[in-house]
Amino acid sequence: MSALEIAAAVRSGERSALDVVEEHLTLIEARDPGLNAYNLVTAEGARAQAAAIDAAVSAGEPVGRFAGVPLATKDNMCTRGIPTTCSSRILEGWRPPYDATVVTRLREAGAVSVGKTNLDEFAMGSSTEHSAFGPTRNPHDPSRVPGGSSGGTAASVAAGFTPLGIGSDTGGSIRQPAAFCGVVGMKPTYGVVSRYGLVALASSLDQVGPFAANVADAAALFDVIAGHDPLDSTSIRDFEPTAQAVLEAGVDGLRVGVVKELAGGSGGVPGLAADVLARTAEAVEALAAAGAVVDEVSVPSSTLGLSAYYLVMPAEASSNLARYDGIRYGLRVDGATTAEMTTATRTAGFGTEVKRRIMLGTYALSAGYCDAFYGKALKVRTMMLEDFARVYERFDVLVTPTTPTTAFELGARTQDPLTMYVNDVCTIPSNLTGHPAISVPFGVGDDGMPVGVQVLAPASHDAQTFRVAAVLEAAA
């Protein structure tokens, strides 16, 4: 059953929320040891919430849009009184004193969080192999990665552990694992979904978004979590989430641009696999057959996104992660002086990839180098915004592959950071511009693994991505 079907059955009394939750907890207990999607399963809390929903249904009280629907929550969202680790040793023992806004909104909508899912440490990675709790595996083939950094959430939805999941996307961390795992994943416009309670990686890039097994569930989940939040200073005012309302609108007359540089065109990014490009071409043909007006378009600066991102993101991460010093919360390794204690704590608490990015970011911000690196990256970011603005004067949405390849094998790219970073080449532009984008499954590659197609839209046109995704889902 879909999330919306489960919720309808619970509201009508046809199904018990407690029975629904028990079924999913049983599945997690049986299968997750082989996948490692969860850092923590909150079984007793989930049962208590489900029982409260059943009591409310019996009393004729309102129970919310997602009444009784199991939910996976990425372990970088604050949950009051429940460990939030970011898959890092440095937050060992930390229990937040408050809930993230998205956690609150989903609880009020009746969704039942069954646990906290694994991720690349502090969301720094593209495979969920950089975790203090071990790698997560792809449910379609456990020898392969689920993508990252929200790999645990994507794996949970793909394995049927939960119909819904919440992740964060800084450079593709929702869309890339969604593509690898064959589920729907969406990054909203920056500021449309509250970041309050999301543990920051790169504050100008991070965004919370939905995972689901189908487009309709993802649209409903987006509509619940989107909207202004006074607790988030970057939250957009007066945004009205309307994703569900446009799912039947079709694409007749819609102007669709295929980004040449990200879809195998000359002068574009290298390394795009032939099978992924073939599925993307088929998706474009399906949109044309449904009435869309399709044409190729060039966005030259999109090829610079990877270079700009890997300066902007580490710089912001270096600043954000300075707070983990062994003094205020989390892990503390004793030392003779405060400086020695801080050094020992950060050495023991951070993993290799986090240390690498902190050093990159600190260097990019250092005196004598800031203008040459970080400053230049910001100029590229502005150039990308201008390029996309010009393109969106001619097109309503853009289409690209979500990832250059299908899911790769565990361990295949951990020794070469550059080959790992290239996984984000198609997703990064939307984070740098702050625009919405969605990944929807569209067939499989030559290896039988899922392929995702990405739909991009201008800022605040989030519903447009769901509108196109619904047509692609039907065609697929």
Q: DSSP string spanning 156-200? A: HHHTTS-SEEEEE-SSSTTHHHHHHHTSEEEEPPTTTB--TTBPP
Per-residue pLDDT of the chain (476 residues), as tens digits, is: 999 999 999 999 999 999 999 999 999 999 999 999 999 999 999 999 999 999 999 999 999 999 999 999 999 999 999 999 999 999 999 999 999 999 999 999 999 999 999 999 999 999 999 999 999 999 999 999 999 999 999 999 999 999 999 999 999 999 999 999 999 999 999 999 999 999 999 999 999 999 999 999 999 999 999 999 999 999 999 999 999 999 999 999 999 999 999 998 778 898 999 999 999 999 999 999 999 999 999 999 999 999 999 999 999 999 999 999 999 889 999 999 999 999 999 999 999 999 999 999 999 999 999 999 999 999 999 999 999 999 999 999 999 999 999 999 999 998 888 889 999 999 999 999 999 999 999 999 999 999 999 999 999 999 999 999 999 999 99
Tell me, what amino acid is at 471?
V
- State residue 265's pLDDT score: 79
**Alpha-carbon distances, residue 37 vs 70, 95, 110, 154 (angstroms):** 15, 20, 23, 8
CB 431 within 8 A of CB 170: yes
CATH of domain 3-245: 3.90.1300.10
Tell me, what amino acid is at 428?
I
In angstroms, how far is the first alpha carbon of the chain from the final one? Answer: 19
Is 149 one of the annotated active-site residues of the chain? yes
Burial of 21 (0-12, 13-18, 19+ CB in 10 A): buried
* Cα–Cα distance measured from residue 289 to residue 302, given in angstroms and rounded to the nearest whole number: 28
Tell me, what amino acid is at 205?
L
Contacts of 75 (CB under 8 A, 6+ apart): 39, 40, 84, 85, 86, 87, 116, 117, 118, 119, 152
- State residue 471's pLDDT score: 98
CB 82 within 8 A of CB 145: no
- CB neighbourhood size of 134 (10 A): 12
Count CA atoms within 13 Å of residue 476 on its CB side. Answer: 26
Catalytic residue among 113, 149, 168, 439: 149
* Cα–Cα distance measured from residue 379 to residue 385, given in angstroms and rounded to the nearest whole number: 10
Is 379 one of the annotated active-site residues of the chain? no
**Tokens 């692609």 found at:** 472
CB 303 within 8 A of CB 266: no
Q: Is omega for the bond preceding 149 within 30 degrees of 0, making it cis? A: yes
Catalytic residue among 74, 116, 187, 260: 74
Domain at 255-302+383-475, CATH class: alpha beta
Longest distance between any two alpha carbons in the chain, whole Å: 70
Is 173 one of the annotated active-site residues of the chain? yes
Residue 164 parent element (H or E) = strand 164-168
**Tokens 């000359």 found at:** 266
CB 352 within 8 A of CB 359: no
* Cα–Cα distance measured from residue 278 to residue 271, given in angstroms and rounded to the nearest whole number: 14
Query: Phi and psi (nearest 5°) for 335?
Result: -150, 165
- Delimit the domains of the chain by residue range: 3-245, 255-302+383-475, 308-372
Catalytic residue among 87, 88, 173, 439: 173
Domains 3-245 and 255-302+383-475 belong to one CATH topology: yes
- State residue 59's pLDDT score: 97
Burial of 65 (0-12, 13-18, 19+ CB in 10 A): buried
- State residue 148's pLDDT score: 96
CA pseudo-torsion sign 430, 431, 434, 437: positive
